[in-house]
Amino acid sequence: METRQSHRLGTGVNWLKHRLVVIAGLLTLGYLLLPNVVVTVFSFNQPKGRFNYDWQEFSTAAWTDPCGVADLCGSLSLSLQLAAWATLGATALGTMIAFALVRYRFRARGAVNSLIFLPMAMPEVVMAASLLTLFLNMGAQLGFWTILIAHIMFCLSFVVVAVKARVMSMDPRLEEAARDLYAGPVQTFVRVTLPIAAPGIAAGALLAFALSFDDFIITNFNAGSTVTFPMFVWGSAQRGTPVQINVIGTAMFLVAVLFVMAGMLIGNRKKKHKA
């Protein structure tokens, strides 16, 4: 009896030992997702005071009226516009740089590479502060345009890295084949090069959009009196957080999950088609 029990205990310990990585990993995943769960749960709360920190009462009021707070949806649409333009700008400029870096040997390549790397290795607050110094010295009016300039600047490097990785793994023989089949340079680029580079460009664009939409530190320094969505959330931490913020946080999470899942499904189907 005793031996059997110790044997069972032994297998228990073995089971635990075998699953240790899985258990630890899942605990980390829980840590990572806990705030999202809290945000979702508290989007159904009806807080008594100005702050939404304690659970009071179930209510769907905020979900039926997400724009019910002054300036909230205005700041949200401003952030979406900024992110869209910043993505467009950074993706265009970054893709061009990536192609130049991978496809051509030229002088000062090393210097260009370091200039691309530096913004990623710099604490945001340093970039934010120095950019503000420039704008103050130039007497620029802080607002939409200064935010956009800043966002394109810090998204650029991330796009370059994402596109570079894809272009580097491209087989140059495909383009040579297109040229051998009498495709002009433009036709080769549009019909062959661009479709192959597209996943890298898309990844860079998605990253730029997420970085720009979520940026607080650089925006805080260079926005003047313009209020983007992260700045609205920041302000609300002092003034009192409306439940609508949780509604939008939850919706963003769901949209992101659906979006990425759809992308993966499409990718899988394409792979199956090829096979």
CA distance 91 to 207: 10
Q: Which is nearer to another protein, 4 or 173 (CB)?
A: 173
* Minimum CB–partner distance for residue 95 and another protein (Å): 9
Residues 153, 162: contact at Cβ < 8 Å?
A: no
CA distance 146 to 148: 5
93 near another protein, judged by CB under 8 A: yes
Q: Which is nearer to another protein, 61 or 256 (CB)?
A: 256
Output the six-digit token pair for 249. Answer: 């946080």
Q: Of the candidates 260, 266, 269, 270, which one interacts with another protein according to CB under 8 A?
A: 260
Other Cβ atoms less than 10 A from the Cβ of 85: the count is 16
Residues 111-170 that bind another protein (CB under 8 A): 112, 115-116, 118-119, 121-127, 129-134, 136-137, 149-150, 152-153, 156, 160, 169-170
Q: Which is nearer to another protein, 36 or 68 (CB)?
A: 36
Output the six-digit token pair for 194. Answer: 């661009």
197 near another protein, judged by CB under 8 A: no
Residues 106, 188: contact at Cβ < 8 Å?
A: no
130 vs 40, 124, 174, 218, CA distance in Å?
A: 37, 10, 44, 10
Count interface residues toward another protein (CB under 8 A). Answer: 87
Output the six-digit token pair for 96. Answer: 């061009």
Please give the DSSP secondary-structure letter assigned to residue 243: H
229 near another protein, judged by CB under 8 A: yes
Stretch 27-66: interaction string toward another protein, x if CB under 8 A: -xx-xxxxxx-xx--x---------xxx------------
Residue of 209, 212, 82, 213 whose CA lies nearest to 144: 82
Q: Which is nearer to another protein, 105 or 273 (CB)?
A: 105
Q: Which is nearer to another protein, 181 or 260 (CB)?
A: 260
* Minimum CB–partner distance for residue 253 and another protein (Å): 4
* Minimum CB–partner distance for residue 8 and another protein (Å): 22
**Size of the chain in residues:** 275
